[in-house]
Amino acid sequence: MSVPGIVAAVVVGLVIGALGRLVAGGRTQVPLWLTLAVGLVAALLGTIVSRLVGIDSDGFTLRQLIVQVGLAGVAVALVVGTAGGRTEP
């Protein structure tokens, strides 16, 4: 894994975690730190998966970004969606 790939995964994970929190709307049972952590871990996993399937070249690529965003988005959606429902403000 290259340094730009790791940095991109961290940024993508935190952004997707925050956006997932905003998209959920209302108050959820999931704390903010958990959505950020899930997005971060999923984006790092996206970097690893892209490297294993041969997408990752030396450095950062658009295809790698797509894999990171996809995995992070799905992971955050699953966590927020299955966290025991929402409570209205």
Q: What is the pLDDT of residue 61?
A: 76
Please report how many Cα atoms fall inside a 13 Å half-sphere around the Cα of residue 56, on the Cβ side: 24
Q: What is the pLDDT of residue 1?
A: 62
Longest dimension (CA), the chain: 47
* pLDDT tens for each residue of 8-61: 778 888 888 788 777 766 667 778 788 888 888 888 888 888 888 887 666 677
Scanning 25-87, the segments in alpha helix (DSSP H) are: 32-52, 62-81
Q: Are 20 and 73 in contact (CB under 8 A)?
A: yes
Instruction: Collapse the DSSP code of 86 into the 3-class scheme (helix H, G, I; strand E, B; otherwise coil) and give the result.
Output: strand
Instruction: Collapse the DSSP code of 87 into the 3-class scheme (helix H, G, I; strand E, B; otherwise coil) and give the result.
Output: strand
Q: What is the pLDDT of residue 80?
A: 79
Instruction: Provide the whole-model pTM.
Output: 0.76
Per DSSP, 28 falls in state E
Q: Are 9 and 47 in contact (CB under 8 A)?
A: yes
Q: What is the pLDDT of residue 57?
A: 60
